[in-house]
Amino acid sequence: MQKAAADLANAQQEAARLQNQLARTGAASSEEIAQVKTGALEYVQQGSNEAVQQALSKLGDAMQQVERLQGTIRGEVEQASGQVALIQHAARERVQRESEATVEKAVGEWRLRGKEVVRLQDTIREQTLRASELATEAARGACETIQLAAHDVVQRAVPS
């Protein structure tokens, strides 16, 4: 009987030891899970920030390109306006100096220049439209990049 009591006491001690060990293992596991969770959240946040930064960089590049195109268009508009003013001034001077035949010739040239101005205006309109399309395309690309990057970060952060 004493042996059975001793075996029972030993079994109880072993059970208590195993319970303590199990409790320590459970606490360590909980702490490790919390650390992994925190790491994953930090990883997702970092990935999202990087994707946003990349998209913002691309959008900034697109905006710079649009600004350059707008500057070019403004320059061409100013140049065309200057040419129109010069053409008008030259035509007026010719009308005042020359005979009717010369006046008719000058008017003909003025009309040709007017067609050139119309062509320049059409070119400016086309470039303005293209700049607008490029800006829209760049913004769309930046949005797609952000969406893809966010999706990738979430896919990497969330186990399948």
The mean pLDDT values, 10 residues at a time, for the chain of 160 residues are 71 77 76 78 72 72 78 79 79 67 77 85 87 82 82 76
Do residues 25 and 119 touch, judged by C-beta distance below 8 A?
no
Q: What is the value of pTM for the model shown?
A: 0.35
C-beta pairs of 85-88 under 8 Å, 24+ apart in sequence: 87/113, 87/114, 87/117
Q: How far apart (Å, rounded) are the C-alpha atoms in residues 120 and 124? A: 6
Q: How far apart (Å, rounded) are the C-alpha atoms in residues 144 and 96? A: 62
